Each structure stands twice: as C-alpha cells, then as structure tokens.
Amino acid sequence: MDKVDATILKMLEKNARVPFSKIADVLKISESTVRKRVKKLIKEGYIKRFTIEYGKSANVISLIKVKTDININFVANKIANTKNVRKVYTVTGEYDIIAFISAENPIEINNTINTIRNMKGVEGSLSFFVLKTF
C-alpha cells in the first residue's frame, strides 16, 4: 500500500459514499485509477465492506435470557421487530440473544429495554452502553 491508497482509505473511512471523482480530484489522478485502486484494496482485504453508522447518540448491547419453556427464535423475532433494535443474534452461552439498540437518547433506550424485558418469554437482560467503537 502506498500514500495514494492510504489517502483513499482515509477518505472512504470518513465518508464511504464519497464519489470516486472527488477522490480523483483531491489526489490529482483519474477516476478510473481510483476505481481500480479501490477494487485492489477490496481484493487485498484492506476494505472488507462499505457500511453505515446510525446517527443516533445512544447505543446499547443487550444480552437477553429466554425462559426455558419458550422458543428462542420466537422471542428473537419479536425483539428484531421492536423500535430502535438494529440487529439481533441468537447465541450460545449463559444468555440466549444479543440485541444491538440505537436511539436518540437514553430515555428511548430505556423504553426499548423495558419493552424487551416485558415480552412474553424473556427471563432477564443485561445491557451495556457503548462508549466507543473501533
């Protein structure tokens, strides 16, 4: 990887939707060169995926226990369709479900967690506010 590739990565990191033409203008290279370099960066594993970050100010990871007599997939599906819930995973271990929650503020987060806790089949939960992502 050279300085040009590093600059491309930094620009895409700040805004994954930055047009290749803008990158080309900044680097004073052609748009097709940018396109080829991005393709190479993907192939070499420097870029794994293009994604979004929600513009929400509060993010929580919640571990959820399901009662033993209840179908985990049924509860996970209900949680996945709850307001502010972004992703849901069924997992092995002490807890049965992990939910990623994003909302505008802690009050909305609390309302979402209370909604989940009051669902039929939920035995308990343990939630963590996300401080920083890497």
Query: Which CATH number characterizes residue 73's domain?
Result: 3.30.70.920
pLDDT in tens, 58-76: 899 999 999 999 999 999 9
State which amino acid sits at residue 9: L
Q: Which of 38-42, 43-47, 56-60, 107-111 has the lowest mean pLDDT?
A: 56-60
What is the per-residue pLDDT for 56?
59
Q: Are residues 111 and 82 in the same domain?
A: yes
The pTM of the full predicted model, rounded to 2 decimals, is 0.60
Q: Give the residue numbers spanning the domain of 39.
A: 3-43
123, pLDDT greater than 80: yes
What is the per-residue pLDDT for 134?
78
Q: Are residues 75 and 35 in the same domain?
A: no
Query: How far is Cα 63 from Cα 85, in angstroms, rounded to an integer?
Result: 13
Q: Provide the angle, in degrees to the nearest 10, between the axes of the packed helices 31-43 and 3-14.
A: 90
